[in-house]
């Protein structure tokens, strides 16, 4: 059963017992998958079918963690509303997935720079080149999160398919000790990372088609979880209206066109009206939407959005955001 952890925070992590062989044998993500036995003797189509069949199990594994994911969504929404940050910490594939999710928040939801961040073992260069040795260092994990100065306003989420990556475990434990809310995203039960965090999200996807290749099912599961966390957070904050990306940052022609189409759909108006309203709203889709839906001018729309902390629906209704 998945559950929140209640362990008191400490400033350091316990030194793990270094029986690597024994530890690996206990991890389902490192086990051999019977469904892919003899993979090297299969045709291309057979290989694709086996991988596809295994991938079909990922959504069901993530589904079991929905209560914990919902807890994290609400916590992150409260944090960002109150001026805090979401900080991901990962290594290897997990770190790259974290980097992808955080980098897509500004263009999708116009988040403020630094509002959603990532920390990668080995630094930015590890995004393109493997620097896996860094993930074994607790000291580097603590050092890198310490540089971000986590506080009670922040949420720090550690990602590790194994749940045992020393770099990530140490970073999460450090952040928790300093009052930050913490969560773990992992694919194994009863792990040091889960124990270090306030909330454990476990997507038990089982053995990989290629034993230990956690960029596969485990990576897909982690990407799905992060999609839910940031999409759910931004929706709870009101940066989504109905199911439309109304906080889109219109910095290129594609995004400008998307903003126009969003306004046309949301308000059932023609293109010319949408273009003119966006111009008069200072190229802001939320301001334009509030102007049209509430039948107010730009200053009033801006006032309402400020009052609702950017929640478009509440700005239209002129009510206050509560989380």
pLDDT tens digits, one per residue of 242-289:
999 999 888 788 888 999 999 999 999 999 999 999 999 999 999 999
User: What's the first-to-final CA gap in the chain, in angstroms?
Assistant: 27
Catalytic residue among 135, 138, 272, 317: 135
Whole-angstrom Cα distance, residue 52 to residue 57? 9
**DSSP letters for 283-308:** S-HHHHHHHHHHT--HHHHHHHHHHT
Name the more confident of 73 and 254.
Answer: 73
Residue 142, both tokens? 């603590």
**pLDDT value of position 2:** 35
pLDDT at residue 276, rounded to an integer = 95
With beta carbons less than 8 A apart as the criterion, state whether 164 and 18 touch: no
Domain 20-236 sits in CATH at 3.40.50.10490
Q: What does the pLDDT look like over 91-146, one tens digit per residue? A: 999 999 999 999 999 989 999 889 999 999 998 888 887 766 678 899 999 999 99
Confidence (pLDDT) at 78: 96
More confident residue, 149 or 318: 149
User: Quick check: is 104 catalytic?
Assistant: yes
Helical H segments across the chain, by residue range? 20-26, 44-55, 58-63, 66-81, 92-109, 138-146, 166-177, 192-196, 217-236, 253-267, 271-280, 285-294, 298-307, 312-317
The whole-angstrom separation of Cα 10 and Cα 123 is 25
253-267 and 271-280 helices, crossing angle to 10°? 110
Task: Categorize the per-residue pLDDT at 18 as very low, low, confident or very high, splitting at 50, 70 and 90.
Answer: very low
Percent with pLDDT over 90 in the chain:
76
The segment(s) of the chain belonging to CATH 3.40.50.10490 are 20-236
Which are the contacts of 314, defined by CB distance < 8 A and separation ≥ 6?
Answer: 238, 308, 320, 321
Q: Write out the H or E segment, with its range, that includes residue 245.
A: none
Q: Are 233 and 76 in contact (CB under 8 A)?
A: yes
CATH of 253-317, one of 3.30.365.10, 1.20.1630.10, 3.50.50.60, 1.10.8.1080: 1.10.8.1080
3-class state of residue 74 by DSSP: helix
Q: Which residue has the tokens 């450090």?
A: 174
Q: What pLDDT sits at residue 125?
A: 85
pLDDT of residue 35: 86
pLDDT value of position 1: 33
With a threshold of 0.85, does the pTM exceed it? yes
Q: Kindly name the residue from 104, 138, 257, 300 that is annotated as catalytic.
A: 104
Question: What does the pLDDT look like over 173-203, one tens digit per residue?
Answer: 999 999 999 999 999 999 999 999 999 999 9
**Collapsed DSSP state (helix, strand, coil) of residue 193:** helix
User: CATH 1.10.8.1080: which residues of the chain?
Assistant: 253-317
Confidence band for 321, pLDDT divided at 50, 70 and 90: low
């Amino acid at each position: 059963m998945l559950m929140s952890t209640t362990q008191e925070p400490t400033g350091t992590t316990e030194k793990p017992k270094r029986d690597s062989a024994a530890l690996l044998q206990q991890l389902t993500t490192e086990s051999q998958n019977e469904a892919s036995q003899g993979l090297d003797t299969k045709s291309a189509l057979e290989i694709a079918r086996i991988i596809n069949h295994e991938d079909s199990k990922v959504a069901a594994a993530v589904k079991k963690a929905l209560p914990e994911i919902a807890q994290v969504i609400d916590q992150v929404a409260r944090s960002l509303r109150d001026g805090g940050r979401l900080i991901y910490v990962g290594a290897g594939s997990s770190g790259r997935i974290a980097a992808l999710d955080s980098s897509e928040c500004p263009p999708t939801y116009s988040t403020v720079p630094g509002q959603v961040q990532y920390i990668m073992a080995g630094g930015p260069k590890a995004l393109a080149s493997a620097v896996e040795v860094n993930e074994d260092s607790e000291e580097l994990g603590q050092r890198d999160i310490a540089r971000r100065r986590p506080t009670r306003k922040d949420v720090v989420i550690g990602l590790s398919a194994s749940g045992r990556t020393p770099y990530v475990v140490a970073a999460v434990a450090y952040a928790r000790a300093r009052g930050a809310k913490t969560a773990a995203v992992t694919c194994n039960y009863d792990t040091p990372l889960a124990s270090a965090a306030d909330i454990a999200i476990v997507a038990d996807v089982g053995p990989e088609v290629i034993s230990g290749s956690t960029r596969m099912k485990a990576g897909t599961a982690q990407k799905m979880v992060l999609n839910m966390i940031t999409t759910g957070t931004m929706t709870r904050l009101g940066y989504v209206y109905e199911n439309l990306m109304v906080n889109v940052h219109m910095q290129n022609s594609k995004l400008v066109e998307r903003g126009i189409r969003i306004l046309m759909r949301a308000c059932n108006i023609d293109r010319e009206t949408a273009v003119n309203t966006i111009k008069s709203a200072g190229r802001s889709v939320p301001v334009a939407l509030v102007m049209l839906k509430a039948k107010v001018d730009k200053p009033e729309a801006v006032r309402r959005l400020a009052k609702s902390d950017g929640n478009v629906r509440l700005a239209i209704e002129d009510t206050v955001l509560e989380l």
